[in-house]
Structure 1
Amino acid sequence: MTSPSATLTVWASSWLAGNSAPDDVIDALHAWAPMHLACAEDEATAGRTGLPWPHPQDAGVTALLQTMRRSVSQPETEIRLVLPGPGDVRGLPAGTEFASAAIDAGEGVLVGPPGRSGTGLVPHVEGPDVLRWTVSTIERLPLDAHHTGLGEAEFTMREAVRDAAAALEALHMLDSGFGADPRALIADALAKSARHRYPTTIAPRALRILDSADQVAAILTVAEQMAPARTVSASGAATLEDLLRPLRSAVRSARAAAVNACARDGLTA
């Protein structure tokens, strides 16, 4: 698992489907931080959800789950992970505070029926071992016009694993001139991702996609960390960015596709 929003999406949908206990969701989110603060974005949202406003309180994961349970009471409700990036605002409700917060955080969760009103949740690191969740009211949730199927996501990740490895080699990072072994750094990044577990009911195909996305992301992280030693010119840095940008986008798309497929399967089970 790679983000608190992804954890909340897969575990909350599993809980709402009756496949996981509330304690499972709490344990999964506590792997990110032992304390979770919650706060409504505005007074109206506070009145609708019962969450504190304007100052966050240690309402815990339970308050988030209660908010999500109320939000999924509408027909055709979805729980959808969004992973915006630079120049990539797919799936965000335009012009909202939620969209701005999700762009800053690089993640967020939307709950409700597409095309109608719903709820948005965005986590922010508040301090050491503390996550603050801001809950927003969304007047009209966007339609999932950029839906990526699992077949497309799996194929894209197979290609991305190859391309990311090629990018690493193109930077000549595998020679003995570096103080750290890139392979060890990649393994360390993957080990950190593996600390965050998935529900046992997750579909094998979705799990394969998420594992591949983690592998690509680990390679990209190492490439970005070690690139300054190799890209000494502005043109070299621009070339590297051109090489890595589509791979980052592919990782975000694949992760969102896999997580959201799990959420849909859970809510429609």
Structure 2
Amino acid sequence: MTSLRILVPIKQVIDYAIKPRVNATRTAVVTSGVKMSMNPFDELSIEESVRLRERNRDAVRDILAFSAGPAKAADTLRTAMAMGADRALLQGEGSDLEPLFVAKLLREVVHKEGCNMVICGKQSIDDDSGQTGQMLAGLLGWGQATQAAKVDVQGSEVVVTKEVDGGEEVVRVKLPAVVTTDLRLNEPRYATLPNIMKAKKKPIEKKTLADFSVEFGKRLETLKVVEPPPRQGGGKVDSVDGLISRLKELGAI
């Protein structure tokens, strides 16, 4: 098996159990004073990286967690290291970064750190763009396997099983490669207290935008952020015939 140096991008998002609120000016979602946590898809990526090491300890040389965002994202990186990442890198000079800019940052990290595999979540639950992994593969010129439900490294190849409408699809890509994770890939472990204490001693290297040869710029403009309309109450019918009649009235059948 090829010796792996794995990069795992991590994003800090509003906790999935918290209902987001739109600010008064309708320009963004309120994040001040809101519980933040690791993007759930990124938890899957860290877990899968650690499991690859557990299956073949000699194959995985390094697991690097990287985050680009506010300085408080360091807390999320600590969680990643408590789950099993060896070290962490934080670019803590920005928030609300666009996928292409993040992909360019990741390309720089890959080159500087000598990574030959990137495992990242297929999307983040805040903007749901689902673009960063694919953009990174394009910028690097690497093969990519998206929405992984199973990952296996066989020699110099990564074998990824993904769920599709008709069942399962198996994709083989040669290393180096980018893999994006889907929800059924694994069940992320909890960071235990002993591992949390150990993670406090692991290094977090902090970088600024000046350390990367990437020009920051906005390509997208948010016109308005609004909450979805409240769901309407349902109705009751007395029989199957009544249901069919109602569906016809609504144009559903």
TM over 0.5: no
TM-score (normalizing by structure 1): 0.26
Greater radius of gyration (CA): 2
